[in-house]
Amino acid sequence: MADDIDIYEAIAAAVANVREPDLARFAPSAVRGALDRALRPADARANFLTWLNARVQALSGGRVSIEERPESDAVDPPAGPDAPPDLPIRVVVQDEPFAESAVLRADDGALHYPMRG
């Protein structure tokens, strides 16, 4: 069984390379559980965002960072009350004119880039 940190590290490595993570080595329930624990409590969510941004910057040599995306900047439909917790982010790549929207969600895919279809 994977530790949550292994799942978080796989996600950080993917974000640092501006791609979707390959989480096939983890049980889907482990991915959902790890992200639920990171995203559902407000204090854990803020700490996870801070950790993830620092880790993405470290893995990318400072080339990529993330920031929380305001709800007013939504590119995906609003989640219902029974939806898994999520964290809308912007992936910012140094010297790129636009940030890319993404959503971390406590589901099987974990990281979604809505504009990629």
* pLDDT tens-place values along the chain, 117 residues long: 569 999 999 999 999 999 999 999 999 999 999 999 999 988 999 999 999 999 999 999 999 999 998 765 555 555 666 778 889 999 999 999 889 999 999 887 788 887 776
> What is the model's pTM?
0.87
* Geometric angle at alpha carbon 82, from 80 and 87, rounded to 5°: 70
Q: What is the pLDDT of residue 46?
A: 92
- Reading the block at residue 26, the tokens are 């983890």
C-beta of residue 13 within 8 angstroms of C-beta of residue 19:
no
C-beta of residue 105 within 8 angstroms of C-beta of residue 85:
yes
Backbone φ and ψ for 102, nearest 5 degrees, come out as: -150, 165
Q: What is the pLDDT of residue 117?
A: 63
Q: What is the pLDDT of residue 116?
A: 76
* Helical segments of 21-70, H only: 28-39, 42-59
d(CA 85, CA 5): 18
Backbone φ and ψ for 60, nearest 5 degrees, come out as: -100, 5
